[in-house]
Chains A and B, each alone.
Chain A
Amino acid sequence: MSYDRSTQNTNLAKELMTAALDIKQAHILSEWVHDRPLISCRFEPQGRYVFAGAEDNTVQRWALADGVKTSLVGHDSWVKAIAFSKDGETTITGGSEGRLVWWPTAAEKPAEIRRIDAHQGWIRSLSVSPDGALLASVGNDLSVRLWNVADGSLAREWPAHDRYIYCVQFHPSGEFLITGDLVGVVKQWNVATGELVRTFDAKPLHTYEGGQQVDFGGVRTIAISPDGKYLTAGGLHKATNPLGAVHEPLQLLWEWDNQTLVRSHIAEGITGGVLWRSLYLSDQTLMGACGGSTGGFLLFWKPDDDKAFHRFAYPVLVRDMDLHPDGIRVATAHYDRNVRIVSLSAKA
């Protein structure tokens, strides 16, 4: 167990609990470092910890109050997907070996509660239903599986896509599940029956580069606006050299009710940019975390403009992002082994 006291600032963090959202005043609060590059991160619902998957197959837990780091060791491969029970007391991690592991979120020395061989191949994304009862998992075996969070039993499964499924997200109503795949197919499923409701065309997020003979891109993130009006799917476009990371971020925005594509949110000039995750802020701003050859960025869009109205720049590339339950703090996982906590408000 170790932590970096030099970068923690607990007093400031406490003050942020009452801070007002002010995106253009965003600034870094904390930087906590691990031994290996980080690939994923999530805040737990009570807001006490941030968890991050690392390239050493571990999940690291940092306490926001004091930066104390704790390792969760139970996977044989990288952990790209992290989710929580609704009360935040249970953490569920999904590994690239196809395993789901249940952990006690706040235990001093977290020990596995349960492990399930859930998928053939990588688990790429998890989502917990709004009522906290179900966990959805997707991965390379092209199936959606729903698990009972309480006991880990399989509730339902169905073959969902023809190509690798990159992400999954429950609709805020709990009635639907949204999935997106490598070739830009977004599907809306009825959770109760597993039936396909409709499909959204996100092909601008996919590139087949004939010279390199590769499929690239895909739906890396899905979000639904708090008012339920919009569905977004993010990733990349302009992939003129997929193997060499020449592409730019792209976020598609549809009206939920009629599937009209209303925006193609872009961020020009971010070479090598891909949106790893997008989330809505309380004021309906869409926030995307983007890596790029010139660093990492938080990008901010409004639904009435294709272009981002603000960028927050990190010193290094971003690989994942999450929003704290307070709606102000943002965690990002970085290649330089740091998890960074940013405040979307003015400095105290």
Chain B
Amino acid sequence: MRPFYACGTAEHTLARRQFLGSMAAAGLGTMIGGLKTFANPAAAQEMARQQKRIVVFNMHGGLSQLESWDPKPGTATGGPCRSIPTSVPGIHISELLPKVAQQMHHLTLVRGVNTAEDDHGKGAYMMLTGRRQTPAADYPRIGAVAAKALAPADDALPGHISITPGGGGGSGNDSAYLEPKYASVMLGNGNPPMHTVRPESVAEPADAARNEFRRRVNERFLTRRRTAMTDAYASSYEQALQLMERREVFDVTKEPAKDVERYGKYDFGRHCLLARRLLEKGVTFVQVSHSNYDTHNENFDFHLEQLAEFDLGFSNFVADIADRGMLDSTLIVVLSEFGRTPNINLYYGRDHWSKAWSVVMAGCRTPRGFAFGATNADGTEVVDGQVDHGNLFHTYLESVGVDSTGSFSIDGRDLPIADPAVGAVKQLLV
């Protein structure tokens, strides 16, 4: 869907209904991206000071809940891994996460997730958009929504960044009907955005002159033929220039060597450290993907390997965010596209299982040191506190102060930010 503006100008990407939650109750601020009316300067200043951020750890392939957040040791489905106590009395998690266990007092376990979708692509879509995928419509990912709702409008940095395990880079096609500027900027293997260094063959004065000429031509063109698409082109050039000027933001080697050591000399550790750096520099949304948990074969060995990396990087990340006073303004989510079967297959593997699995949250309005929902003794079904992707999507947004029952006004139509058929989980909001 192309983001044509309702009135044909660049001025309005406004929701008809109220957009922000608790902060919006006092009015919206000029610093908040895409929400320039209903301004209340005091609230805006407070929100700018307390700018909310979201970081999503995407456990690509489908993390086993039984080897992480909801172990069932000693049962037919438990496998060889035991559970261990955490920093919160009464809450146990898998022995594969000993360092994360010591950060449990910051976390909330959501153990009753039932998304009823065992396909990788569809499950990932649901968890990142809060909607079931249909041919009729595409919906923006949580990162695009967060960037639009939370990022300062004049921010020089992209509001939606995705750190991917492999190489490559570029921009994701994940903002749907929101403007392209809210699409993810991908940092392949944690490297800075591509093409953000001026070629040596172009001298700085020549580059400046070229950009000035481009701006003038653009301005002339826009006086008569301004559309969302032309704005997107112009915006992308300006964003690229700003990125080039602030390229050091993405340079994780600027972080202290002791922190690099502490987070672990794995790619994932470096990516966690980069996420911390980006959030501290003011980026609104960061997604860190960790690959790969699609363990149909030798589930326990692969989880042993992968979660050792995760345990080190993630536990240090959570501890640092808390120590730096950022936990009240940073929502941390650990999700997958689904969980894994309680049944252990003939290859020591676990297959796809979406009926009873777990998500982890921390920060903002999320309770601290809490386990919500439960599965039965062998982990095959949810017996208490069942939630789905739609509930969680609402909850994430409410946790950072966005009214998830609000709408985007796109091309004359009101499009609910989150699935209006469901709502947030009140027990996960304090």
Q: Nearest residue in B to A317 (C-beta to C-beta)?
A: B346
Residues of A within 8 A of B166 (CB): 210-211, 213
Q: Are A77 and B344 in contact (CB under 8 A)?
A: no
Q: Are A55 and B344 in contact (CB under 8 A)?
A: yes
Residues of B within 8 A of A57 (CB): 74
Does any Cβ of B come within 8 Å of A141's Cβ?
no
Q: Are A213 and B297 in contact (CB under 8 A)?
A: no
Q: Are A122 and B80 in contact (CB under 8 A)?
A: yes
Question: Which residues in chain A, 34-66, are within 8 Å of chain B measured between CB atoms?
Answer: 36-37, 55-57
Q: Are B344 and A242 in contact (CB under 8 A)?
A: no
Q: Nearest residue in A to B60 (C-beta to C-beta)?
A: A213
Does any Cβ of A come within 8 Å of B112's Cβ?
no
Point out the residue from A213, A214, A216, A245 that lies within 8 Å of B347, measured CB to CB. A245
Complex interface bits, A76-95 against B, C-beta within 8 A gives 1, otherwise 0: 11100000000000000000
Given the known inter-chain contacts A76-B74, A212-B291, please indicate yes or no for A272 contacting B165, CB distance below 8 A: no
Does any Cβ of A come within 8 Å of B372's Cβ?
no
Residues of B within 8 A of A76 (CB): 73-74, 82
Complex interface bits, B287-305 against A, C-beta within 8 A gives 1, otherwise 0: 0000110111110011011
CA distance A339 to B69 in the complex (A): 34
Given the known inter-chain contacts A76-B73, A211-B166, please indicate yes or no for A243 contacting B292, CB distance below 8 A: yes
CB distance from A139 to the nearest CB of B (A): 11
Q: Are B82 and A213 in contact (CB under 8 A)?
A: no
Point out the residue from A37, A77, A215, A242 that lies within 8 Å of B81, measured CB to CB. A77
Q: Are A55 and B74 in contact (CB under 8 A)?
A: no
Q: Are A244 and B297 in contact (CB under 8 A)?
A: yes
Residues of B within 8 A of A272 (CB): 297, 347
Question: Which residues in chain A, 202-235, are within 8 Å of chain B measured between CB atoms?
Answer: 210-216
Q: Are A213 and B165 in contact (CB under 8 A)?
A: yes
Given the known inter-chain contacts A213-B291, A316-B346, please indicate yes or no for A243 contacting B61, CB distance below 8 A: yes
Does any Cβ of A come within 8 Å of B1's Cβ?
no
CA distance A215 to B74 in the complex (A): 28
Residues of A within 8 A of B291 (CB): 212-213
Residues of B within 8 A of A210 (CB): 166
CA distance A70 to B305 in the complex (A): 35
Q: Are A214 and B296 in contact (CB under 8 A)?
A: no
Q: Are A36 and B302 in contact (CB under 8 A)?
A: no
Residues of B within 8 A of A55 (CB): 76, 79, 344
Given the known inter-chain contacts A210-B166, A214-B306, please indicate yes or no for A243 contacting B81, CB distance below 8 A: no
Does any Cβ of A come within 8 Å of B349's Cβ?
yes
Q: Are B80 and A214 in contact (CB under 8 A)?
A: no
Q: Nearest residue in B to A97 (C-beta to C-beta)?
A: B82
Q: Nearest residue in A to B349 (C-beta to C-beta)?
A: A245
Q: Nearest residue in B to A213 (C-beta to C-beta)?
A: B291
Given the known inter-chain contacts A243-B61, A245-B296, please indicate yes or no for A214 contacting B305, CB distance below 8 A: yes
Q: Are A36 and B76 in contact (CB under 8 A)?
A: yes
Total number of B residues with any Cβ neighbor in A under 8 Å: 27
Residues of B within 8 A of A36 (CB): 76
CA distance A245 to B267 in the complex (A): 25
Residues of A within 8 A of B302 (CB): 214, 216, 242-243
- SS of A interface (majority): loop
CB distance from B167 to the nearest CB of A (A): 9
Complex interface bits, B330-363 against A, C-beta within 8 A gives 1, otherwise 0: 0000000000000010110100000000000000
Question: Which residues in chain A, 99-143, are within 8 Å of chain B measured between CB atoms?
Answer: 122, 140
Point out the residue from B81, B292, B296 that lies within 8 Å of A213, measured CB to CB. B292
CB distance from B271 to the nearest CB of A (A): 12
Point out the residue from B80, B82, B297, B346 that lies within 8 Å of A243, measured CB to CB. B297
Complex interface bits, B264-301 against A, C-beta within 8 A gives 1, otherwise 0: 00010000000000000000000000011011111001
CA distance A214 to B74 in the complex (A): 28
Question: Which residues in chain A, 134-178, are within 8 Å of chain B measured between CB atoms?
Answer: 140, 164
Residues of A within 8 A of B294 (CB): 212, 243-244
CB distance from B334 to the nearest CB of A (A): 17
Given the known inter-chain contacts A76-B74, A215-B305, please indicate yes or no for A245 contacting B165, CB distance below 8 A: no
Question: Which residues in chain B, 293-326, are within 8 Å of chain A measured between CB atoms?
Answer: 294-298, 301-302, 304-306
CA distance A201 to B305 in the complex (A): 22
Residues of B within 8 A of A37 (CB): 344, 346
Residues of B within 8 A of A164 (CB): 301, 304
Residues of B within 8 A of A317 (CB): 346-347
CA distance A216 to B296 in the complex (A): 13
CA distance A244 to B120 in the complex (A): 14
Does any Cβ of B come within 8 Å of A30's Cβ?
no
CA distance A172 to B301 in the complex (A): 30
Point out the residue from A56, A245, A316 that lies within 8 Å of B297, measured CB to CB. A245
Residues of A within 8 A of B347 (CB): 245, 272, 291, 317
Q: Nearest residue in A to B268 (C-beta to C-beta)?
A: A213
Complex interface bits, A22-37 against B, C-beta within 8 A gives 1, otherwise 0: 0000000000000011
CB distance from B158 to the nearest CB of A (A): 25
CA distance A316 to B301 in the complex (A): 22
Does any Cβ of B come within 8 Å of A179's Cβ?
no
Does any Cβ of B come within 8 Å of A335's Cβ?
yes
Does any Cβ of B come within 8 Å of A8's Cβ?
no
Residues of B within 8 A of A291 (CB): 346-347
Does any Cβ of B come within 8 Å of A332's Cβ?
no
Q: Nearest residue in B to A140 (C-beta to C-beta)?
A: B304
CA distance A244 to B292 in the complex (A): 12
Q: Are B80 and A78 in contact (CB under 8 A)?
A: yes
Does any Cβ of B come within 8 Å of A96's Cβ?
yes
Q: Are B305 and A56 in contact (CB under 8 A)?
A: no
CB distance from B85 to the nearest CB of A (A): 15
Q: Are B74 and A243 in contact (CB under 8 A)?
A: no
Q: Are B344 and A243 in contact (CB under 8 A)?
A: no
Q: Are A242 and B297 in contact (CB under 8 A)?
A: yes
CA distance A245 to B301 in the complex (A): 13
CB distance from A39 to the nearest CB of B (A): 8
CB distance from A103 to the nearest CB of B (A): 20
Q: Nearest residue in B to A36 (C-beta to C-beta)?
A: B76
Residues of A within 8 A of B73 (CB): 76-77
Q: Are A214 and B344 in contact (CB under 8 A)?
A: no
CA distance A335 to B349 in the complex (A): 12
Point out the residue from B80, B165, B297 that lies within 8 Å of A77, measured CB to CB. B80
Residues of A within 8 A of B346 (CB): 37, 291, 316-317, 335
Q: Are A77 and B76 in contact (CB under 8 A)?
A: no
Q: Are B80 and A96 in contact (CB under 8 A)?
A: yes
CB distance from B230 to the nearest CB of A (A): 38
Write 25 A-B pairs (CB below 8 A) sorted by A numbering: A55-B79, A57-B74, A76-B73, A76-B74, A77-B73, A77-B80, A122-B304, A164-B301, A164-B304, A212-B61, A212-B292, A212-B294, A213-B166, A213-B267, A213-B291, A214-B305, A216-B302, A242-B297, A242-B298, A242-B302, A243-B61, A243-B296, A243-B302, A317-B346, A317-B347
Which 8 interchain pairs have the tightest Cβ spacing?
A245-B297, A78-B80, A96-B80, A335-B346, A212-B292, A213-B291, A245-B347, A77-B80
Query: With A55-B344, A77-B80 given, can you name 5 additional A-B contacts, CB distance below 8 Å?
Result: A36-B76, A211-B166, A212-B61, A242-B302, A316-B346
